[in-house]
Amino acid sequence: MSLPAILNGTTRLPVVAAPLFIISHPALTLAQCKAGVVGSFPALNARPEAQLDEWLAEITQELAAHNTRNPGRPAAPFAVNQIVHKSNKRLEHDLMLCVKYKVPIVISSLGAVPEVNAAIHSYGGIVLHDVINNRHADSAIRKGADGLIAVATGAGGHAGTLSPFALIQEIRTWFDGPLLLSGAISTGGAVLAAQAMGADMAYIGSPFIATTEARASDAYKQMIVDSAAADIVYSNYFTGIHGNYLKPSITAAGMDPDHLPEADPSKMDFETATTGAKAWKDIWGCGQGIGAVTEIAPVANLVDRLAREYAEARQKLAL
């Protein structure tokens, strides 16, 4: 197993904070990087598209200033998520800006496209591609991605259905490059478990929704604190692709979360990100791991907790 230089020793913990539609914005990304984990945001969160230039300027300048002020504890690098799908009409524009700002890490979702990888490689950036099965993993690497994010069952957003044990084991039979694991990882012990089963790093989304810096409503944050795995429903009704959502938000929108109809996958559209119901804005995405989230707190506190638990888990196993 080998990590590229940008991820090797540049984080306090082996953790990448996952991009969250609508929720991630510069304040969250910067807090994640400064706390010592890779911070990220989806390019599509910057709207209108011209705002992406401003966001990238802000993030690169603020991280450089932070690193000058804190030479002993520099920030972790940041990542931008690109949705590689025909419904994303901004891809070329957003990619150009990633090249302009030399974004260190690009996380590509859905389509694996050689041109996207080549653009990021042109200045030395790396591409991590998220996948829900071994077949997509193989295709992504053959098309030039540098690493993989295995999205297992229980993940927030568009989750897979495979057990993390099965998914990591199968990918590791042929791939010894950078491999991240995602899906319901919410404790430092789970980060260590991801490494024990063969991943290099953990990829954590939902717990960051319940942070002070997240661009989510107070009600959404509180629902995460109040909910547990049993409150999550897996459905393709809202975007055409199966994902995990908070049941109480579906009930609040006037639907029965236990009897949702099946959707038409051809209707999927990431620019408007909705089919009928107001997915993401009113129907709140969330993974199964939130039983470990007991308070709304600043990102720094969440990362401190993960670091403490990670150290305790290592000690318990006498590593």
Ligand X SMILES: Cc1cc2nc3c(=O)[nH]c(=O)nc-3n(C[C@H](O)[C@H](O)[C@H](O)COP(=O)(O)O)c2cc1C
Q: Does residue 285 touch ligand X according to CB under 6 A? A: yes
**Which DSSP helix (H) or strand (E) runs through 235?**
strand 232-235
Q: Which residue is nearest to ligand X (CB)?
A: 205
Tokens of 298: 């600043």
Q: Which residue has the tokens 């009704």?
A: 237
Q: Give 61 or 190: the residue with its C-beta nearer to ligand X.
A: 190
Alpha helical stretches, state H, the chain: 26-35, 51-69, 91-100, 114-121, 134-142, 164-172, 188-196, 218-226, 247-252, 299-316
Residues 34-63 that bind ligand X (CB under 6 A): 42
Q: Give 75 or 107: the residue with its C-beta nearer to ligand X.
A: 107
Q: Does residue 289 touch ligand X according to CB under 6 A? A: yes
Site string for ligand X, 116-155 (x = CB under 6 A): --------------x--------------------x---x
Strand order in the sheet with 39-42: 15-17, 201-204, 179-182, 147-151, 126-131, 105-110, 78-84, 39-42
Q: Give 61 or 272: the residue with its C-beta nearer to ligand X.
A: 272
Q: Does residue 94 touch ligand X according to CB under 6 A? A: no
Rounded CA gap, 252 and 119, in Å? 43
Q: CB–CB of 91/270 below 8 Å? A: no
Q: Does residue 184 touch ligand X according to CB under 6 A? A: yes
| Interface segment toward ligand X; rule CB under 6 A; list 135-143, 178-186, 234-242, 257-265 | 178-186
Q: Which residues bind ligand X (CB under 6 A)?
A: 18-21, 23, 42, 81, 109, 130, 151, 155-157, 182-185, 203-206, 285-287, 289
